[in-house]
Structure 1
Amino acid sequence: MPKKSATQQISRVSRPRLYEQLVEQLMEFIESAQLGPGDTLPAERDLAERLGVSRATLAQALVALEVLGVIDVQHGTGAVLVYRPNVPSVLKGLREHRSRLPEIVEARSTLEVKLAELAAARRTEADMKAIDKALDAMAEEVASGAKGAHGDEQFHQAVTTAAHSAVLAQLMTFIAGMILETRLESLGQPGRPEQSLASHRKIAEAIRAQDPTAAAAAMLEHITLVSDVALLK
């Protein structure tokens, strides 16, 4: 039986994902620039030029670092370094985050669709006012150029409250930290804040109309939308 060549015997090494390569470059930049906690990274346009990537690609890497708590991205301020970990620990955290995302989406699809259905059946006028207030808050954020994360969180909390289900509310509290990961990831996609806000309005209208079936369908459609993130592609 003929022996395999050395080339054939070498197992194929998977190419690191682009965002992982970019995260490594970002960490190397932070190290070379001697940035420490509290220091602000250069503006996205300048940073993208220095690293030789598009702003859209850079934005995805920054979102990943924000999810891990390495940086804090604030509208009007930019990306502020929270702490400076080593590259292996950051890449390990990113891979764990990526593998966790599908299960978080699965949990949201189960819990939040039911919560929307119950909210449509049980909501009070006070609940509706809270939902509308959350929509207004997100609209203001998005109009200012921000991601709308606070308004987004407020909206989902208002829907949960309107469902008047203590046990489901406790389960939502339990996974709140994991949902925050998906929220930051999703709202970092180009055009997503506006799409998410429109999706929220559709859910709110179904709850206002006290139509449980439409509310559940609108929430499922919303979860499907916000689950479409670059990290899983």
Structure 2
Amino acid sequence: MADLDRMERVERPRLYEHVVQRLVDFIHDRDLDAGDKLPPERDLARSLGVSRATVAQALVALEVLGVIDVQHGSGAELRYRPSESMVLRDVRAHTSRLPDIVDARNAVETKMAALAAERRTSEDLEAIDRSLTTMSEDIARGGRGLRGDELFHAAIAQAAHSAVLARMMQHISDLVRETRIESLSQEGRPERSVESHRVIAAAIRAQDSDEAFRAMEEHIALVSDVAMLREDVS
């Protein structure tokens, strides 16, 4: 029995992981290559017999890995043909590291928000405001606000005026990008995220470091609620 206790449990694949594998099979079966388009979500969902939400989750996983590029109004475009043997492994690796990325963001970005409230300059506030405008305008056009979100967090890092913390954020920037894509691809999340940004910005403008810390903590909790860490959708 002791030997059995040391055995690793068999991991049950999530539904979106099955869809990821089917999409990779489709890419290879159709001999698709960089620049080719995947069918619309609704057509994929109908063909696979799953919901559009599950297809969307699978496409986000492929986007995070850099396999596809998704642009509003133009659908999913293949960036490169993925290895059939590696893609599911990479998707699971991404999912498994999401909680660690959240922990790192909580440790670093909350402190940077508090410091930004204490140290921000007028130029810093202007950069924060520009990022909010960029994100809001993109969302209004039907986009996800990815660029504006990136600019906002970069502006907070700059406003903190801490070279070491800024370097730490730069070190995990690629990992944070993974969570950014995953979070802002969820329905209604871009709008909630930009409003959360406004609360942080207001605290920084008011030079309220405690409120800035709390607002950033709540924001990270919001954007870290991602579908990949939940139970399957059908």
Same fold (TM > 0.5): yes
- Equivalent residue for 2:83, pick from 86, 91, 94: 86
Residue type at the aligned position of 1:90: V
1:102 corresponds to 2:99: yes
Deviation at 1:12, TM superposition (A): 8.1
Runs of 4+ in 1 over 6 A off after TM superposition: none
- Counterpart CA distance in 2 for 1:129 and 1:12 is 52
Cα displacement (A) at 1:94:
0.8
Match of residue 214, structure 1, among 211, 215, 226: 211
Aligned to 2:161: 164
Q: CA deviation at 1:13?
A: 5.0
**How far 1:76 sits from its partner (Å)?**
2.0
Letter in 2 for 1:142: I
Look up the match of 2:4.
Answer: none
Larger of the two Rg values belongs to structure? 1
SS in 2 for 1:88: coil
Unaligned runs of 5+ residues in structure 2 are: 1-7
**1:163-208, Cα deviation, whole Å (9 max, x unpaired):** 1111111111111111101101111111111111110011001011
Matched, 1:49 2:46: yes
Query: Shift of the alpha carbon at 1:55?
Result: 1.3
Task: Indicate the SS of the match to 2:168.
Answer: helix
Return the offset for 1:229. Answer: 0.6
Q: Which moved more, 1:47-56 or 1:201-210?
A: 47-56
Residue 61 (structure 1) aligns with:
58
Find the aligned partners of 1:76 and 1:154 in 2 and give their Cα distance.
Answer: 23
Q: Does 1:231 align with 2:220?
A: no
What corresponds to 1:7 in structure 2? Answer: none
Query: Gapped runs of 5+ residues in structure 1?
Result: 1-10
Alignment of 1:137-216 (within 5 A): 137-216=134-213
Q: Quick one: which amino acid aligns to residue 124 of structure 2?
A: D
Structure 1's 13 and 159: CA in aligned 2 closer, same or farther, altered over 3 A? closer
Query: CA–CA distance in 2 between the matches of 1:182 and 1:51?
Result: 26
1:24 aligns with 2:39: no
Q: Distance in 2 between matches of 1:127 and 1:16?
A: 45
Per-residue displacement from partner, 1:94-121 (whole Å, max 9, x unpaired)? 1111111111110000000000000001
Corresponding residue SS for 2:69: strand
1:4 equivalent in structure 2? none
Question: Size of the alignment, in residue pairs?
Answer: 223
The one-character-per-residue Cα deviations of 1:126-155 (angstroms, maximum 9, x if unpaired) are 110110000000001111111111000000
What is the one-letter code of the residue matched to 2:145? G
2:86 partner SS:
helix
Cα distance change of structure 1 residues 206 and 26 upon mapping to structure 2, 3 Å threshold: same
